[in-house]
Amino acid sequence: MSEVDFIFDVTSKDFEALVLKSDVPVLVDFWAPWCQPCLAMKPTLEKLILERGGKIRLAKVNVDAEQRLAMAFGISSIPDVLIFRDGRPVDRFQGILPEKALAQLLDGLLPTASEKLSEMALVREQAGELAEAEALYREALKGEELLDQARVGLARILLARGDKDEVMTLLDSVSGGGELGEEALALKARAWFADKVPGPANIDQAQARVAAAGTVKEKAHARYELGCRLAAAGEYIASLEELIEAAEGDSTLLTGPAREAMIQAFHALGDTHPVTQDYRSRLMMLLC
């Protein structure tokens, strides 16, 4: 890899892709061409980044060109360096730091022994070696009990084989935000539906109950059951249509079970999914 892979300019247009979605920690250096302290720190900072071979990256924001981005992060004086990890700001320093202090700061961002075990586990998981992956995730958690990537990885494996009892405990301690936080919400939603619908989804039977229902309320409750079963089978979009119909048919479902199930389906799909946004708006209109 070349220097450009580790050190690059960033703007408001690519900040999310290059910083928030980075798979390694990123130092975001807010600077300007006229800032002498910025220019003085530049060679030392870039040297230390290059020495770590891509395990940490440096994103540079010219505050003159990116005033809105600077305002968004409360930049009032420069140099100001924010450190992002897993999509979240985890540290910050202003002014010039000595080389030794900078090196110590960067080394503190490098993967720990538990994080390395978790990375090894992910490789095994992706290769389909799930027993080996599970053992490595559990070993990682012995060293760092609250290591999010190990908790999410282990939850994925357990849920895939239908062992949902431990999943909620693992995921309740995962930090919100970032890709891991979103995945944790999605996994918790899958576990929630798996708990609601133990065993086979039996979608055909649930559809038959909807067709056979007589009153509006009976049909609403049958649709609620069908919606939960569709979600348990991973058919979240079809599930949301049944759940919104159930909510429209019975106000007790709207303010209770159907609303809760829809929120879980939103988590399973992801908050930014267009279907989530559509059905969230429809739900809010019903609740108003």
Say whether the peptide bond before residue 79 is cis (omega within 30 degrees of 0): yes
Position 176 scores a pLDDT of: 73
Identify the active-site residue in 10, 28, 35, 82: 35
> For the chain, how far is it from start to end, CA to CA, in angstroms?
55
Q: Which has more confidence, 182 or 3?
A: 182
% pLDDT > 70, the chain: 99
Please state the rounded mean pLDDT for residues 101-111: 91
Position 3 scores a pLDDT of: 53
Q: Residue 167 region, left (φ>0) first, then alpha (ψ -120 to 50), else beta? A: alpha
Q: Is the pLDDT of residue 111 over 90?
A: no
Chain centroid, CA 156 distance in Å: 14
Q: Is the pLDDT of residue 2 over 60?
A: no
Tokens of 102: 């900078």
Could you tell me the pLDDT band of residue 4, with boundaries at 50, 70 and 90? low
Could you tell me the pLDDT band of residue 9, with boundaries at 50, 70 and 90? very high
pLDDT, tens only, 148-160: 999 999 999 999 8
Decide which of 1.10.287.980, 1.25.40.10, 1.10.150.20, 3.30.70.20 is the CATH code for 113-194: 1.25.40.10
pLDDT, tens only, 24-64: 899 999 999 999 999 999 999 999 999 998 899 999 999 99
Cα–Cα distance for residue pair 231/265, rounded to 1 Å: 7
Q: Which residues contact 197 (CB under 8 A, 6 or more apart)?
A: 228, 229, 231, 232
Decide which of 3.40.30.10, 3.40.80.10, 3.50.50.60, 3.40.190.10 is the CATH code for 3-107: 3.40.30.10
Please state the rounded mean pLDDT for residues 2-10: 79
pTM for this model (two decimals) = 0.70
pLDDT, tens only, 122-181: 999 999 999 999 999 999 999 999 899 999 999 999 998 888 888 988 998 887 777 888
Q: Mean of the per-residue pLDDT values for the chain? A: 92
Angle between helix axes 178-196 and 148-160 (nearest 10 degrees) is: 30
Position 56 scores a pLDDT of: 93
Does residue 288 carry a catalytic annotation? no
pLDDT, tens only, 185-206: 999 999 999 998 888 879 999 9
Position 1 scores a pLDDT of: 41
- Of 273, 266, 94, residue with least CA distance to 186: 266
Does residue 38 carry a catalytic annotation? yes
pLDDT, tens only, 12-22: 999 999 999 89
Position 284 scores a pLDDT of: 95
* Residue 190 · residue 171 · CB < 8 Å: no
Identify the active-site residue in 38, 69, 157, 189: 38
% pLDDT > 90, the chain: 78
